[in-house]
Every structure is written in C-alpha cells, then in structure tokens.
Structure 1
Amino acid sequence: MSLAAELRHALAASIDSPRWCRALETVPRELFLGQAVYSYEPERGWVPVRRSDLSAEDWLRMAYTDETWVTQINGVMAEDADAPVTILRPTSSSTLPRLVVRMLEAAEIEEGDKILEVGTGTGYSTALTCCRLGSEAVTSVEFDPAIASRAKAAIAEAGYAPTLVQGDGLLGYEANALYDRLIATCAVRSIPLAWVQQIRQGGTITAPMLGWTGGVAFAHLRVAGNDTASGRFLSDDVYFMPARAHAAPPRAALEMGLGDISHSTMDPLLLKDDTALFVAQLAIPHAQHGWAEDILVLHDSKTGSQADVRPAGSGWLVHQQGPVRLWDEVEKVIETWQRAGQPHQSGFGLTVARERQWVWLGSPDGPSWDLPA
C-alpha cells in the first residue's frame, strides 16, 4: 500500500464514519490542495507553503492531517502569493475532513439521492459525494472563477465528472432541479428562496449561517412544499466563510462616547459567548460589533446607529445614537433568552416562507425574530 493510501485509511479510521469511510479511503485529498496553501503565523500573517518546498512525504502528511488548509485570501491563491499576507480574511479553504463529513452526515444523504452543493471550493467534498453516489448525482456551484477552474481540474484528475457550474450559488442551479439534498459549504445570513424551490418536498437543506455580528448557527431544514421549509438548528457550532454576497460590509471607524447616555445592569461580556452573540444578532441583524479593550462597540450598517457600553462602577455606562437603540434591543432579546434557560442555538429553529423567514425560540409558536431578506 502506498503512503497516500495508508494516510487515507488512517484518516478514515480517525473520523469513524461508516457511510463515508470508503470515500475517505478513496479520494486523494492532496489533489485538492493545489501547489500551495497558506499557514498562519502570528508574527508574519498568512504564509504560503509550497508543495515544491516540502518533500513528497511531508506534503502528503500535511494533506491528510485533519485540519483546514486555507487556499485563497482576498482573492489571492496561495500559489500566486509572493509574500506573507497580513489580511485576516480567508476566502477559500479545504475544510478539515471531519467537518466535511459532519456536514454530509447532517444532510441525511442516502444512496440514490440527487445533490446540489453550493460552494465547490477545492472540490474535495464534491469528490467525496461523487465517490459515494456517482458523479451523475452531484451538481456543484462555485462563485469564484479561479476557484471553480482549479476545482474542476482536481475533480477530473481524481476521476469524477459531476455537473460543475461557475456562477452564483445563491440562485441554486435550476437546470438540474429538483434535488433531494442541498448542502452549502459557505455561510449565509438567510436562506435563499431559490434553494427551497429547487428541493423536492421532503428533501433537506443543510447550511451554516453567519450574521454580521459573527453569530453562527447550523441550519437543517426540511422542505414542506409551497416554497416553505422549516427545522431546528443542529447542536454543532460550525464556522464557514460567508457567501460573498452575504459577507458583512467594511466596518466603519466610529467615535465612541456619542449620543444619549443611560446605564445598564447587563454585562456586555456576555456577547463573548457564541450563543449569546447569536441571540443578540437576532435583534440587530444589520449591526457589527467590536471591542476596544473592555468597551463593546456596536454599529448598524443599515441605519448608521451606534452604541458603546463600558464599565462604570457596579454597572455599565451606555452611549446610543441613531434610530435603532442597539443596546436596548440587545438587552431585550438577551433577557428573553435568559428567561427561557439560555438554550444553545439548537434550542432555536428557522422557518422559511415566500414572504419572510424567521428564527423562533423553543417552538414555531414561541418568540420569533425576522431574518434580513
């Protein structure tokens, strides 16, 4: 057995997924890393690691570690980078195999299913799905032309021939609909209606969600027909790069200490908890947040509203200005969540309809918040 085959078998054994074991043992991940990846070094930033700089054995061992390898940052592929990149915004990667398999398992894929994948990326997850279901069952859409071109070559070299589309995955791919399962490998703020319309009744949509404050959830919805879908969020906290059209805009530079003054008994450090951040985001979906030492700063990109919250004696001093009282809205939604026992995101669900979509707490009849269109 070759070293690559040994490493594939070891990776499959470490992930222990009976449904996806053969695919993990078969698909050569090294093909999907191209000729270079980025490795993050705190003092230098994102440093290109080239295949030609490593021995064949070291490159293979790197490829089969259960890690995410960044392949593009702000549109620059790793093989095209001639120096470290200091911008902390990767735009494409080969996600760690364990998470790829978790996504595929969550989608409830069965033999005979027809799959739409949104976000081809390097093509590794596309190839795994082809290996299990057959190429004819898989359609994958990638927005970025350079990423799509490289993925197409790698998938073909691995021996698969799915339908590959370079275009806007938020529109799905109607030509091959209806599908049984849709899997998104990019995060969205809300579920595109086109996705719901291209999945058969009873089929599923599995997608990571990411809002502008950085709150995440892992949606798994069942399509009910009539352009509707609903389901609970899953228990996993998954972090995926946002779809380009759903990424947050550049954050404005703010002057703190402006606007009306009030006092709060709620500790803003709550928002360093992932679930609390997700909950806060429900009330202020167009806002972004940041920290200036121990001061929380909020800015609403839609209305220009802003707030900052800082320690003051036994409580916190709040400044707010603009039409949306950002911290007031955060306090209200956090209090609702606390009264419900502070459940994880999996205590919430999502319903998508033609006119709107909303997150609910506990049950579809519980408290709810609309997502941005």
Structure 2
Amino acid sequence: MTEDWRPGYAALLDALAASGELPDAWRPAFDAAPRHHFIPGDIWEQRATCVPVTTDAAWWDLVHRDVPIVTQVDDGRSDGPGIATSSNSMPTMVARMLTALDVADGQRVLEIGTGSGWNAALLAARLGSGNVTTVEIDPVLAERAAKVIKEAGYSPDVVWGDGARGWAPGAPYDRVIATCSVRRIPYAWVRQTRPGGRIVAPLAGDFWSGALVRLDVGGDGVASGRFVGGARFMPMRSERPGPDAPVDSGTGRRGSPGALAVGTMAGLGFALYAGAKLPGVVMADGTPDGGYRLWLHDRKGSAATVTQDEVWSYGPRQLWEEVTAVHHAYVQDGSPDPGDFGLTVLPGGQRLWLRSPDTPLG
C-alpha cells in the first residue's frame, strides 16, 4: 500500500474539523497518528454483507472516507459465513467519543477493545503512552495492534484480557472508554475509575441499535450520566446474541398500521423509551425495495413486518399494537429527546431514567 496518503487524510480531517466533530485540541493527535497505519491489508466494506476490498485504489479510498472499516470477519476463521467481528470505527465517531471523554493532560485512560489500535494510539499521542492502557480479548488482534502502535512510535500498555473485567492492575483510571457495545455497564469499570472520573461507552439495547452514554463517577461508587447520541458498535464478545426462536409463517395475520407514521419509530428518543417499556422486543428498519419498512420480533417466535400500508403479524403477540401503545405513552410523556434519558450504574446493577435519576423508566 504505497501512495502519498497526506492529501486524502488531510481532506478527511479538514472535513471532520469543519463539521465540528474534530476539535482543535484533538487535531494534533489525529495528525500524528494517521489512520492508514492501523488498517491491515485485508479489509472489508460493510454493505448488506462484508465485501472484500481487492485493489489498492479501493483500499485507500475506504481508508480516507468517513466510514467504518471491517478489519476482521468470523473471529479470524477462514471457514465462516463472513460476519464482521472487528472494525476500525468511523472517524466521526472516533472523534466524537474522544471529545466526550473530555481528557486533560496527565490523566490516565483505560480503553476497552483495542481492535486495530488506532484509538489507543490517538490517546497516547494526546496524553503520553504511559497514561494509556488498552485491553483486547482477541490475542491475534492484541498482538497485531501492539506491533503497529509501536511502529507508529507509541507504547501504551496493550493487554490481552476480557474487557468486561477492566484491568485492575493499572487502576485507578481517570477515564474509561469502550469501543465495543455492552448491554450493561460492567461495575468493574466504575470500581476502577477515580471519583470524579468519566466513562464513555456505547450501550446496546434490543429496540435500538446503540446509544452513547457518558457517565460521571461519584465518590459513593455510583456512576450516572446522560445519553449523548446514537452509536452502533459490535457487541462485546461475551454479549453476542444467541439464536432467536423460529417464527411460524403460518400464523401470519394481515392488518393496518393505522394513522401513526411508521417512520416515527426510528428516532433514538422513542427507541430508548420503547426499549425500557418493551424489554426483549427487537426493532430494525430499512428500505429494501425502495419503500420504508419496519421489522419487529421478540426472539421467542413473535414478529411483525410494517409498512405505511399494511402490517403482517406472526406468533402469539401483537407486537405492532404493543409498540403503538408505547408510542402513545411516549407522546403523552412529552416525546422526550435522547438527551432527556440517562443511566445510573450501581454495585447491584443499572437503571435507565427519564429527565432525572430519581425517575427510573421501566
């Protein structure tokens, strides 16, 4: 992969800066740790499936675009179905999460999910290598990341281990950042963060594809904070979903969606609300045939396919009717924005709340 990468990378960073996503405080780190150094030769573009990138021109084009890059499929096996299992994140999201982390000189950071190593190198460029620890569960990825980070001139502590446990030998940390999604914030992360510290992580739910939460850790061992936008990441390996129960197509029932605009279901505010009210119900949307379509299922054999013209329901539950009832409650509750929702993490678990930690949602 040999070409003058500077114009393409500079154009990418200039676009991020112009959009407000890359603040001046982080630009020197991005300049010092260019993205291409952390992208392996074999990569895939995520479309409906993972499509291999087979030419140098396509490789460079993808590296200098503001898109995620799949860097591993099937956990590195050669005989799998081609499912993405590790990636280099979209530069906008990298910059957004680092900005949300709100680091200061001298602070120590724990990163969960080393992946390609780019994020760890950016942190090292900003804070110094001695202040950065990164944990990766895949030993092959950890070894490769340690190598390319060193070649880039940085030497953070790259650890092979289960990120759900954090990394106690290096604690306490001022900041913790996760680059994989979790369904529940592990309390180990809170325990290993100094009082006054911060945790930034993508939280995964059934009804939504992912949301970024920013938590501040108090002296009482409780972390609490608000959601700061959507964030779609691969799940932590220990939290990958299992197989769903089959849906019996013979139970199909045709109905009408009613007056509610189907597209209103896709907003993150409603998704957070519905995820709390309808645990276990999964929502996805798209335009497979040029028209908007919504899919619902509950992993236990009930499902619904919804367009603006019709609804097909399957299994014992009437999922569309349940979702529309929750949407009515959401509107009655003032149609809260994503920033109105927050999360509190305690030793015994976590709770989602609306507008105030004193008003749990569920």
TM-based fold match above 0.5: yes
Contact 2:130 2:157 in 1 (8 A): yes
Q: Does the residue aligned with 1:70 lie in a helix, a strand or coil?
A: strand
Query: Greater CA deviation, 123-132 or 29-38?
Result: 29-38
Which of 349, 359, 362 is the aligned partner of 1:366? 359
Q: Does the residue aligned with 1:165 lie in a helix, a strand or coil?
A: strand
| Alpha-carbon distance change, 109 to 257 in structure 1, aligned in 2, over 3 angstroms | farther
CA displacement, residues 29-77 of structure 1 (integer Å, 9 cap, x when unaligned) = 22211112112466xx423225xx426xx75554333322111122237
Q: How many residues align?
A: 349
In structure 2, the partner of 1:33 is 39
Question: 1:144 aligned to 2:138?
Answer: yes
**One-letter amino acid matched to 1:65:** R
Unaligned ranges ≥5, structure 1? none
CA distance in 1, matches of 2:89, 2:306: 37
| Alpha-carbon distance change, 284 to 259 in structure 1, aligned in 2, over 3 angstroms | farther
Q: Does the residue aligned with 1:11 lie in a helix, a strand or coil?
A: helix
Unaligned ranges ≥5, structure 2? 18-22
In structure 2, the partner of 1:15 is 16
Query: Greater CA deviation, 7-16 or 202-211?
Result: 7-16
CA distance in 2, matches of 1:203, 1:92: 28
**One-letter amino acid matched to 1:243:** M
Question: 1:321 aligned to 2:299?
Answer: no
Question: 1:206 aligned to 2:200?
Answer: yes
- Give how far 1:116 is off: 0.5
Contact 1:222 1:229 in 2 (8 A): yes
- Give how far 1:214 is off: 3.6
TM-score by length of 1: 0.81
Which of 344, 349, 358 is the aligned partner of 2:337? 344
| Alpha-carbon distance change, 131 to 338 in structure 1, aligned in 2, over 3 angstroms | same
**One-letter amino acid matched to 1:253:** P
In structure 2, the partner of 1:126 is 120
| Alpha-carbon distance change, 333 to 257 in structure 1, aligned in 2, over 3 angstroms | farther
Aligned 1:1-373 pairs, distance under 5 A: 3-16=4-17, 17-40=23-46, 45-50=49-54, 53-54=55-56, 59-60=59-60, 62-76=62-76, 87=82, 89-234=83-228, 236-256=229-249, 267=260, 269=262, 270-289=264-283, 296-300=295-299, 304=300, 306=302, 308=304, 321=316, 330-331=323-324, 333-369=326-362
Query: Greater CA deviation, 67-76 or 106-115?
Result: 67-76
RMSD, aligned α-carbons = 3.4
Contact 1:32 1:154 in 2 (8 A): yes
Contact 1:37 1:71 in 2 (8 A): yes
CA displacement, residues 112-160 of structure 1 (integer Å, 9 cap, x when unaligned) = 1100000111000110110111100000011122221211111111111
CA distance in 2, matches of 1:311, 1:97: 33
- Give how far 1:339 is off: 1.4
**One-letter amino acid matched to 1:345:** P
CA distance in 1, matches of 2:306, 2:45: 36
Q: Percent identity?
A: 34
CA distance in 1, matches of 2:335, 2:167: 39
| Alpha-carbon distance change, 169 to 327 in structure 1, aligned in 2, over 3 angstroms | same
Contact 2:248 2:315 in 1 (8 A): no
| More strand by percentage | 1
CA distance in 1, matches of 2:70, 2:312: 41
Contact 1:256 1:308 in 2 (8 A): no
TM-score by length of 2: 0.83
| Alpha-carbon distance change, 349 to 247 in structure 1, aligned in 2, over 3 angstroms | same
Q: Does the residue aligned with 1:206 lie in a helix, a strand or coil?
A: strand
CA distance in 2, matches of 1:95, 1:133: 20
